[in-house]
Structure formats: structure tokens, C-alpha cells
Amino acid sequence: MSDSSRPGSANSNDAFNISEFLVPPRELKAAGQSYVSFDGLLQHPLLLKEDLKEGCGGQLWPAGMVLAKYLLRRHHSTLIDKTIVELGAGGGLVGLGVASGCKIGPSPIYITDQAPMLPLMEANIALNNLSSSVQAAVLDWGEPISDSIPKHPDIILAADCVYFEPAFPLLISTLHDLLGSNSVCYFCFKKRRRADLRFLKMAKKAFQVTEINDDPDSETYKRENIFVYAIRAKSGPNKAAGAAS
């Protein structure tokens, strides 16, 4: 997933002119295609193209698998009539998994990332015949939200979006723009470095953040330092203070 090194989903260092030596190396797999059933939670597995030529977001990452399985288990029937936007979608693992295995609609799920990832997202939508329920769009963190994307979606999905530290303020800014009074962001990431905890501290200052503990797999993936949070907008004076800081 978008466990990446670029602003907007952390997949490119160019916009910040920051050396890749400052970003910890990770093992990458070769481009190809994968079938994903989320441990049998999908009746018909997804076929996902993985392509690393535009960055790490083109690969499947553990937090995306964890978040998708959580939603398939705990929110299989609670997403009907909800507007849903995925941030830093990469190839679209989470959004496509939700579209395939949860009851959604009538609005499509919007899977978003930077422009270089758009062809991969569109290819995976087509591979799985999900064009009627999933729409790919470009969303750069820290930039104004396009009118084609729901202004305050009910559900925001974000997996493996915490990796490239200079992008943290941009992600916080985009969450500020997207989170309405009735919105919730399901946010999953793997804690790899101290900087990841810095993002969590920033998020807790800006938003209401609660750890999700109703997942039967939580004890397993917590041992791998993967965690799932629900992020909501603060209300009243605290919201104003968080936005100004």
C-alpha cells in the first residue's frame, strides 16, 4: 500500500529535494500481479497489479491488509449510503477490498493518490470489474480538495500513509479539510521509527484519536507494531486550537 516516501502518499522525494539516504530502506518486490482474498474474507479474490516504477505505493503493504480485513469483518454491513474516500491508495488495495466485500453504495468509493499512481489505480479497478463502484482520483496532500471528491466524506481510509516525515503536515492538513463533524478516518500504520510516533502526537493534538481494539486479529498485528485508529474532528474551541497549531 501507500507505505511510501512521497508527499501526498509518501512516494517521491523530489518535491522536498530530500536525499533518499534520509529514508530507511525497505524490501521491495518485483512488479507483477497478486490474488488477494484477505484470508478468505472475499468470496472472489481481488487481482491486483503491483508496479514499483512510480514508487513504493505500487506495492501491497501490511497495514493495508490489516485495515481491509478489519473493515471486512467489522463494517461489512455498516457502509451503505456512506461516502468513502481512501487516501494514499497506491494500487487501491483497501478501497477495492471494501468495494468487493462490504455492502456499499449508491456512491462510489473514491481511491486517491498522486498523479503517477492514477494509471495503476485505474488498471486495478478494471481488472476487478469495479468501475461501477470505485472511482480513481488525484489528491495531493496539502492541496485544495478537488470538487470531484466528496467534501466531507463519511468514511476516510488511510493505510501505510506514515513513512516520509516531511509529508506529515501535509497529511494533517488534508485530514483537516476532509473531516467533517460526522466523518471518521480509519487509519492504520506500522510504527517503524520514532518519527512515526511524532505523527501520532501531531494527530492527537489536531484531532480526536482513539485506538481500535475490537478487531479479533489485533493482538497478532500489534506484535508487528501495526495499529488501527479512528480519527475524528474535534469540536468546539479544541478544534480551532488544533487547526491553528
> Rounded CA gap, 177 and 134, in Å?
22
DSSP 8-state class, residue 132: T
According to DSSP, the β-strands at 84-87 and 155-159 are parallel
Element (H, E) at 186: strand 184-190
Q: What are phi and psi of 182, to 5 degrees?
A: -115, 15
Q: How far apart are CA 3 and CA 104, in angstroms?
A: 26
Host H or E run for residue 231: strand 226-233
Return left, alpha or beta for 158; rule: phi > 0 is left, psi -120 to 50 is alpha, else beta: beta
Q: Is 89 within any annotated ligand binding site? A: yes
How far apart CA 152 and CA 103 sit, in angstroms, is: 20
The H or E element spanning position 106 is none
DSSP state of 40: T
Instruction: Say if residue 61 carries a ligand binding annotation.
Output: yes
Is there a binding annotation on residue 159?
Answer: yes
Rounded distance between C-alpha atoms, residue 133 and residue 10, angstroms: 26
Sign of the CA dihedral running 187, 227, 11, 136: negative
Helix (H) or strand (E) holding 220: helix 218-222
Place of cell 511510501: 4
Binding site per annotation, positions: 61, 88-90, 113, 141, 159
Binding site per annotation, positions for S-adenosyl-L-methionine: 61, 88-90, 113, 141, 159
